Copies of this chain bind each other. A is one copy, B any other.
Amino acid sequence: MKNLKKILKQYFNVAVSVDNVVFGFDADGLKVLLIFRGSEPFTGSWALPGDLISPEMDLEYSAEKILKQLTGLDQVYMEQIQTFGSVDRHPFGRVFTIAYFALIKVENYHPQAASWAKDVAWFKVTEIPKLPFDHREILEYARRLLKNRIRTQPLVFELLPKYFTLTALQFIHESILEEEFDVRNFRKKILSSGIIEETGKLQKNVTHRPAMLYRYNASKAKQLGFEGGILQ
């Protein structure tokens, strides 16, 4: 048994981190949240909000806690996406990183840099600065995943405010899928799916005809088996 422990020691000397790809959405389109690193390595560069996991903490909990510590974001939709494990991806040693994606309603949350994050900002997915580690690869992986999922899961409602217009719903689909849809057909499809409902409320303070506001009906979506999706 002593012998066994000795053998095992050679394995118990790596670290594991979490990196979060936080997506948000506003009038400009799809955004990703980055932090400005105030800690080694790569101090002074923008990066995905991520950190090493303390060995005594559960994985899911770590992912949430790390995000909260660096950006203040709490209670957001998160999902594990993939683990990246190249030998040389971290200069301090062998670090496997488990990537998560998170979707947030930009209007409801106001990220604030904390801990060793010196700044935090939204970047358009088309205007991402140079990123350290393999964060670029992780980000692109997350984008592809989001694109694939969006057709078959009602994820967009995590990105939109509680009340939203059909135009916004269409725009978010078009932004993520990089594809345009016919207005009438899009509306027909969404409305006939039954997963969103009218609220009777109207947009205010707009310089044009105000749009009707809709709301996601989660219970109906579930009842209809909507992990199966919106489009397609």
Residue of B nearest to A18 (CB): B85
Q: How many residues of A are counted as interface, with CB atoms below 8 angstroms from the partner's CB atoms?
A: 32
Which A residues have a C-beta under 8 Å from some C-beta of B?
4, 8, 10-16, 40, 52-60, 62, 80, 82-87, 92-94, 96, 98
Cβ B59 vs Cβ A10 within 8 A: no
Residue of B nearest to A7 (CB): B52
28 chain-A/chain-B pairs, Cβ below 8 angstroms: A8-B52, A8-B92, A8-B93, A10-B54, A11-B15, A11-B52, A11-B53, A11-B54, A11-B55, A12-B13, A12-B15, A12-B93, A13-B13, A14-B15, A14-B53, A14-B55, A16-B16, A16-B85, A56-B87, A56-B94, A57-B87, A58-B85, A58-B87, A59-B84, A59-B85, A60-B85, A80-B82, A80-B83
Residue of B nearest to A13 (CB): B12
CB distance from A54 to the nearest CB of B (A): 7
CA distance A93 to B10 in the complex (A): 13
CA distance A83 to B80 in the complex (A): 8
